[in-house]
Amino acid sequence: MKDRSHDDAMADIFREDPALAAETLDQIFADGDQAELMIALRQMTSAFGGVPAVAQAADLNPTQLYRTLSDKGNPELRGLCAILKAMGLRLSVRPIDAG
């Protein structure tokens, strides 16, 4: 049996369970961890067809998307929203639970 990378395994999980992808991003946004966000976005991009497919669906240049998703990437809000939309997701804001 051939070993798979963690990123490939996560991409498969996100592909099979888009709700989990949304929950994962929601938790990352709550924590505010930029590095974790970039890792998850790369995994989700793989899950949703790879950079060429996501770039086309998001109306972005694939080279620009590769740069945006790099370790040093820092997506602008417009680009982030386009990437999420291409994955069938959207960014939303809600009150912090007082509980």
User: Which strand (E) or helix (H) includes residue 33?
Assistant: none
Residue 63 belongs to some domain of the structure:
yes
- Give the model confidence (pLDDT) of 4-45 as tens digits: 898 889 999 999 998 999 999 999 999 989 999 999 999 999
Residue 99 belongs to some domain of the structure:
no
Alpha carbon distance 54, 75 (integer Å): 14
Residue 94 belongs to some domain of the structure:
no
pLDDT confidence of residue 3:
79
pTM: 0.86
Residue 1 belongs to some domain of the structure:
no
Residue 33 belongs to some domain of the structure:
yes
3-state secondary structure 41-69: HHHHHHHCCHHHHHHHHHCCCHHHHHHHC
Number of domains, the chain:
1
Does residue 98 surpass a pLDDT of 70?
no
Q: Give me the domain span that covers residue 71.
A: 6-86
- Give the model confidence (pLDDT) of 45-94 as tens digits: 999 999 999 999 999 999 999 999 998 888 999 999 999 999 999 998 88
Residue 91 belongs to some domain of the structure:
no
Residues 6+ apart with CB under 8 A from 64: 55, 79
1 pLDDT band, cuts 50/70/90, is low
Alpha carbon distance 75, 18 (integer Å): 21
Could you say which DSSP state residue 95 is in? Answer: P
99 pLDDT band, cuts 50/70/90, is low
Residue 24 belongs to some domain of the structure:
yes
Residue 80 belongs to some domain of the structure:
yes
